[in-house]
Chain A
Amino acid sequence: MKKTVKKVLALGLSLIMVLSLAACGSKGSDEPAQTQETQETQEEQAPAEPAAEETEPAAEEEAAGGDLSASITLWTYPIGNWGDSATVESLIASFNAAYPGVTVTVEYLDYTNGDDQVNTAIEGGQAPDIVMEGPERLVANWGARGLMVDLSDLFATEAGGEIYESVEKACKGSDGKYYEYPLCMVAHCMAINQTMFEAADAMQYIDAENHTWTTDDFFKAVQAVYDSGQQNVGAIYCSGQGGDQGTRAIINNLYSSTFTNADHTAYTANTPENIKALEALYAQDGINFDASINGGEEITLFRNGTLAMAFCWNAAQQTNSDNAPAGQTNNGDTILPMLFPSDDGKTELCGGIWGFGIFDNGDQAKIDAAKAFIDFICNDPGQVKESVKASTYFPVRPTLTGIYDGTEIADTMNTFSAYFMPSMGDYYQVVPGWAEARTEWWNMLQRIGTGGDVATEVETFDTNANAAISAAN
């Protein structure tokens, strides 16, 4: 009898352990990230960089700010130095000088666990007041689920009216409400190890001045570098979603195809051009379909000289000097940022747009304070440049110029403004069912990498991704 009781008890306990895990969600996800996934996808049509100088006088914030009193929380993903506490505290100090009655508490998220943290907080009724990220999350995810506050009034301000139309469009939900107020943006590009390319006599295939190359020249260059003894030239990384915009960009640009339609109502990757691009990449010596790395890890391999090119790159990577001087690999090779190769000379880069959204926590005082914070950080003439500079990206308004003047990275940022930002393409990451579709994308690459028939796998992707749209609607 005793044994029976013990048996039942033990079985019950084992049942309970599993069920409680399933119900509470996974504790494993609390562990910190092991990779730097700062290359989340986003997009946007690329406005040329600024023209006119902002001349607005400093606003008299103190008078308005003195009335507000609230304690709000800001959760920010690692968008440049917006993931650095010293920088953010300094920005908050500026805000508090104008709004002494508002207390801002910051929590720093990463791209590996940040979504889980926010989602858990939402389910627990403890969502942050402000979250800093891009339309992919703020608009297409949380906004579409009715969790965010409409920020139309911020777009109605003078500064809001100056925002590039394509950026504004990306911040608007399908219901016509704005769920993100943007601060900065960047165009994601690729990069090559110029020193390796020179040693392989492959620079002849590159227009280094304009940072461009054709599809044919791209493959010739890869072959030349491979023939020079560099076994691993580039990697179609596909272990996960980190930096996956890079793989989409190289494939979509090689033979000028698309990922979605212009209305963002269907995935259109199943085209002869994309299939041709995948087949060509798979057949190319030196290009590995690598299911063991993601975008962040590809960057690490590029920086340490294992790979001769990176498909996951942008201005922030080019100015990064953590392990070596900016613009150099760890062993001192020169890094040259490049547009993705295209057969028609018109590269379309995936972009990132980052800004702020407000969770509707039902407290109008907090919402007002949160809007005041966003307005100050993004619109205040005396503050906005510092806010953008902290992101290490580019402003979303043409009237904001000279952000990086006088800084060490000014030349690099000017290069990106001139040669890369104008090539920003469509921001398609707001398509319904995006989470499923991007998972299908890197799973498709994995299958192709292990010998799957390209046409069949692309068709499978297309079917599953479009099914996700139907399910989401």
Chain B
Amino acid sequence: MAKSSNMTSRSKALVRRETRSAWLFLLPNMIFFVGFVVIPMILCIYTSFFDSTMGKDAQDTFIGFQNYVELWKDPIFVRSLKNTFVIVIVSVPVVCVFSLWVAALIYKMKGPVLSTFRCVFYLPVVTGSVAVTVVWKWMYNNYYGIFNYVGKGLGLIDNNINWLGDERFALWCIILILLTTSVGQPIVLYVSALGNVDVSLVEASEVDGATHLQQFWKIKWPLIMPTTLYILVITTINSFQCFALIQLLTSGGPNHSTDTVMYYIYYSAFKLYRYGYGNAMGVVLAIFIALLSAVQFKLAKEK
């Protein structure tokens, strides 16, 4: 009995020691996480209830939900939200499907060829967004861009199209760039996930007479579902937060046709100094992302 009690107290001490070590290892990251994520998050929510602005003698006035009410009466915010949803609704499925398709084509290739494809698709991800943007801006150029050059050369268009200066095309141009910079990571993840699918399961299904399509839907797709879920969530968040491309290419124009919530947050907070209003937008955006992520988790769980 005494021996058993001794063992229990020793194992408790061991657990305590391990727990303490774990916390100590976590501490540096926790400090940064709390300092640069949790506290700003709390400040963001807090400030969204104030009429906060810049100024030496500026007093933040508590205005309750007034910023939130104003949001829904602000046509620019509503349009920004709509544009943001268009970006998300288009880019998330396209990124997932395209990257899965590419990954399915290349994951069985031999080392160097596979690496080459990985590099090609990952290059836009690791290239600075400014450099990428400059190249795309040149391609879209109204006067000497390659799209107009090729389009006219092939007889597809009669006159130059002002891709970024025309409301009908600008948002789609942004989405196209977003796609090229978004597919790299999902492709690498899918290549890895598909490579990890148990070959014996696939072979067994072959023996049972399963077609390639059946193998994919019945065996591979369920096994790579966690990867798909991760890609969906990350791509959704990235699409919701589309900002740099807008700032560098269109500044939200023409006529707010490429305004996104993230850009409008920036504009309200940094150009108009409406910090409270900008933070309210941030909270609303976060709620939308959380809701959409929840839906994605729910659907993935049902699968």
Contacts and interface: CB of A to CB of B under 8 A. Distances in A.
A449 B162 CA distance: 11
Interface residues of A, number: 51
B40 A14 contact: no
Contact of A19 (B40, B134, B140, B253): B40
Contacts of B129: 28, 31
Given A239-B253, A290-B142, A23 B44 contact: yes
A467 interface: no
Interface stretch (B90-98, B100-108, B243-251): B243-251
A435 to B, nearest CB: 5
Contact of A18 (B144, B248, B285): B285
Nearest to B128: A31
A18 B301 CA distance: 24
A271 interface: no
A6 to B, nearest CB: 9
B45 interface: yes
Contact of A23 (B279, B290, B293): B279
Interface string B56-70: 111000000000000
B165 A290 contact: yes
A11 interface: yes
Nearest to A304: B144
A29 B270 contact: yes
Given A11-B293, A14-B237, A23-B44, A29 B247 contact: yes
Given A18-B241, A20-B36, A238 B134 contact: no
Interface in A308-355: none
B256 interface: yes
A69 interface: no
Give the contact-size bracket for chain B. Answer: 35 or more
B269 A25 contact: yes
Contacts, number: 170
B54 A145 contact: yes
Interface in B242-289: 243-244, 247-248, 250-251, 253-256, 262, 265-267, 269-273, 278-279, 281-283, 285-287, 289
A389 B61 CA distance: 47
A306 B144 CA distance: 9
A144 B45 CA distance: 28
B30 interface: no
A217 to B, nearest CB: 26
Given A232-B143, A291-B166, A145 B37 contact: no
Interface in A77-97: none
Interface string A103-119: 00000000000011001
B160 to A, nearest CB: 9
A450 B253 contact: no
Interface string B230-245: 0001000100110110
Given A20-B40, A21-B241, A22-B281, A450 B286 contact: no
A26 interface: yes
Interface in B151-180: 162-167
Contact of A446 (B37, B56, B130, B253): B253
Given A34-B248, A450-B166, A450-B167, A10 B233 contact: yes
B174 to A, nearest CB: 12
A442 B250 CA distance: 12
B55 A145 contact: yes
A116 B270 contact: yes
B89 interface: no
Contacts of B227: none
A23 B279 CA distance: 6
B166 to A, nearest CB: 7
Given A26-B262, A450-B167, 16 more contacts: A11-B293, A14-B233, A18-B282, A18-B285, A19-B282, A28-B266, A31-B129, A34-B134, A34-B137, A145-B56, A239-B165, A239-B251, A240-B253, A290-B162, A291-B255, A292-B254
Interface of A: 3, 7, 10-11, 14-26, 28-29, 31-32, 34, 115-116, 119, 122-123, 145-147, 232, 238-240, 288, 290-293, 301, 306, 360, 435-436, 439, 442-443, 446-447, 449-450
The 8 closest A-B pairs by CB, nearest first: A22-B282, A292-B165, A23-B44, A291-B254, A146-B56, A23-B40, A291-B165, A28-B244
